[in-house]
C-alpha cells in the first residue's frame, strides 16, 4: 500500500467540522491523525465521528504524534503561534486566511518556514479556481502590457456573525452540533470584522495577479455597534505605480451567492473575472494573442463557463497540502509571500481607518531592523 499523508488540524471549529475533517477523511492518500481545540465534549465528539488517534486541547500532543502536514484553522490571532510550532516540528502547513493579524508576525512566520525548509501555504480557495488560474496565465503572457490598475469588489452574508448575534451555519458530528463562535469574528484587534475575515480572500486573489509590493494604503470603514467593520473600502498604491481599489461588505441576505469580481487594466487592454456571474474575458486589440510562456500554446481570450464554475471551494489548497506531504510537485497559488503582502495591506488599512490618513507600508528591510 502506498504511503499516506499524516495530517492533523489545529483549531477544529465550525469550518474544520464542515469541510476539512470530512474532506480529509475521504481522501485515500490521507491518514487523519487528530485535532486540537478547546472543549472536552467537542473533542470527544470529533474523536468518535472521525476515529481520531489524537483529540486534545494541547498542540504539543498532536505534533508529538508525528504529522506530515498541519491545517491551522484556529482564531486569527493564534495563527503565527500554531503555524510556527507545526513548522518547527517538521510539518508542512496550510493556514486559514488571514495568514496573521500583524505584518511583523506574517514576515516572521514566512522566515520560519524558509529556515525550516517547510512549505507554508494559505487557504485561499478562489486562487485555485480555473477562472483565477486562467487570469493569472493571461497576465503572465504579458498580453495586457504594463499593468495600470486593479479593482476588486466582493460581498458576503456576515452581518449576524460579525454583530455577535449568531454563528454561521451548523454541522453535527458525533452527536454534537458545531457552529462558528461569534467571539472569534467580532474583535478587529484579533482579526475579526470584514477586512480580515473576508476581504483577505479578495486581496489574495487580486494580489496574485498584481505582484508588486504595496506602498501606501488609505481606508474607510463602516462599523457595527460592537466595533466590527462590515463595509470596507481601500485605495492602494503599489511600488511599480499600479493603483488599486478594493472594497467589500457583509450585508448580503442569507442564501445569496457571494459576489467576487476583479478587473485589471493595462497599457494594451483590460481583463475581467466575475465569480458570481461566471465571466472571464480579456479585451485587447484584435491583432494581439496570448501565448503561454515556454509552451507556445494559445490561451483563450474568454472562457466558456458552466453553471457553478465560480462557486467557492477549498479543495485546491487542501489537496496542495496533501501533495506537499507526499513529495509531489505542486504549484502554489497562495504562497507565504502572497500572505505577507495581504497582511501588509490589511494592517495598513486598519491603521488608516483609525487615523483617517494614508499609511505607508513598512519596507521589508525596515521590518527586520532590530
Phi, psi of 252 (to 5 degrees): -65, 140
Report the pLDDT value the prediction gives residue 370, as an integer from 0 to 100: 35
DSSP-assigned letter for residue 156: -
Whether 61 and 145 map to the same domain: the answer is no
- Residues 155-185 have pLDDT tens digits of 999 999 999 998 888 999 999 999 988 888 9
Q: Is residue 219 included in any domain, yes or no?
A: yes
Burial of 176 (0-12, 13-18, 19+ CB in 10 A): middle
Residue 87 grid coordinates: 513548522
Whether 290 and 321 map to the same domain: the answer is no
Q: How far is CA 126 from CA 96, 134, 168, 264, 281, in A?
A: 13, 12, 20, 17, 17
CB neighbours of 39 closer than 8 A, spacing ≥ 6? Answer: 57
Report the pLDDT value the prediction gives residue 297, as an integer from 0 to 100: 64
**Average per-residue pLDDT in the chain?**
94
Report the pLDDT value the prediction gives residue 294, as an integer from 0 to 100: 55
Q: How far is CA 315 from CA 42, 346, 357, 363, in A?
A: 25, 25, 39, 34
Cα separation, 29 vs 192, whole angstroms: 35
Q: Is residue 370 included in any domain, yes or no?
A: no
- What's 114's domain CATH number? 3.40.50.720
Comparing C-alpha atoms, which of 149, 169, 156 is closest to residue 269?
A: 149
Whether 206 and 248 map to the same domain: the answer is yes
Instruction: Look at the chain and report how many structural domains it folds into.
Output: 2
**H-only helix segments in 121-263:** 130-141, 159-162, 194, 200-209
Sheet holding 243-249, edge to edge: 279-284, 269-274, 259-266, 147-155, 243-249, 229-238, 214-223, 359-360
Range of the domain at 119: 5-126+317-335
Residue segments in the chain with a per-residue pLDDT below the cut of 70:
1, 289-297, 365-370
pTM for the model: 0.94
Amino acid at each position: 500500500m502506498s504511503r499516506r499523508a499524516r495530517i492533523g488540524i489545529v483549531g477544529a471549529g465550525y469550518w474544520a467540522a464542515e469541510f476539512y475533517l470530512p474532506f480529509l477523511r475521504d481522501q485515500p492518500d490521507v491518514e487523519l491523525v487528530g485535532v486540537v481545540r478547546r472543549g472536552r465534549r467537542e473533542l470527544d465528539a470529533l474523536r468518535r465521528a472521525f476515529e481520531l488517534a489524537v483529540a486534545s486541547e494541547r498542540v504539543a500532543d498532536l505534533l508529538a504524534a508525528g504529522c506530515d502536514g498541519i491545517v491551522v484553522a484556529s482564531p486569527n490571532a493564534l495563527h503565527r503561534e500554531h503555524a510556527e510550532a507545526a513548522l518547527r516540528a517538521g510539518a508542512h502547513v496550510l493556514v486559514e486566511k488571514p495568514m496573521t493579524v500583524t505584518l511583523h508576525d506574517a514576515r516572521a512566520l514566512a522566515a520560519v518556514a524558509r529556515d525550516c525548509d517547510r512549505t507554508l501555504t494559505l487557504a485561499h480557495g478562489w486562487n485555485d479556481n480555473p477562472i483565477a488560474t486562467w487570469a493569472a496565465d493571461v497576465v503572465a503572457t504579458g498580453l495586457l502590457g504594463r499593468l495600470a490598475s486593479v479593482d476588486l469588489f466582493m460581498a458576503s452574508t456576515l452581518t449576524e456573525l460579525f454583530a455577535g448575534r449568531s454563528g454561521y451555519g451548523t454541522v453535527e458530528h458525533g452527536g454534537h452540533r458545531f457552529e462558528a463562535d461569534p467571539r472569534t469574528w467580532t474583535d478587529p484587534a484579533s482579526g475579526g470584522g470584514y477586512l480580515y475575515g473576508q476581504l483577505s480572500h479578495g486581496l489574495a486573489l487580486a494580489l496574485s495577479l498584481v505582484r508588486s509590493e504595496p506602498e501606501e494604503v488609505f481606508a474607510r470603514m463602516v462599523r457595527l455597534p460592537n466595533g466590527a467593520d462590515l463595509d470596507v473600502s481601500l485605495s492602494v498604491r503599489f511600488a511599480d505605480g499600479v493603483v488599486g481599489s478594493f472594497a467589500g461588505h457583509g450585508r448580503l441576505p442569507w442564501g445569496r451567492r457571494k459576489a467576487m469580481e476583479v478587473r485589471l487594466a493595462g497599457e494594451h487592454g483590460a481583463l475581467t473575472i466575475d465569480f458570481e456571474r461566471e465571466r472571464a474575458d480579456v479585451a485587447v486589440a484584435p491583432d494581439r494573442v496570448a501565448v503561454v510562456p515556454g509552451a507556445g500554446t494559445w490561451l483563450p481570450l474568454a472562457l466558456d463557463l458552466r453553471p457553478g464554475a465560480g462557486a467557492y471551494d477549498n479543495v485546491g489548497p487542501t489537496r496542495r497540502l496533501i501533495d506537499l506531504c507526499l513529495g509531489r510537485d505542486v504549484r502554489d497559488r497562495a504562497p507565504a509571500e502572497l500572505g505577507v503582502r495581504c497582511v501588509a495591506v490589511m494592517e495598513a488599512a486598519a491603521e488608516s481607518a483609525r487615523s483617517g490618513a494614508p499609511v505607508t507600508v513598512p519596507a521589508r528591510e525596515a521590518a527586520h531592523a532590530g
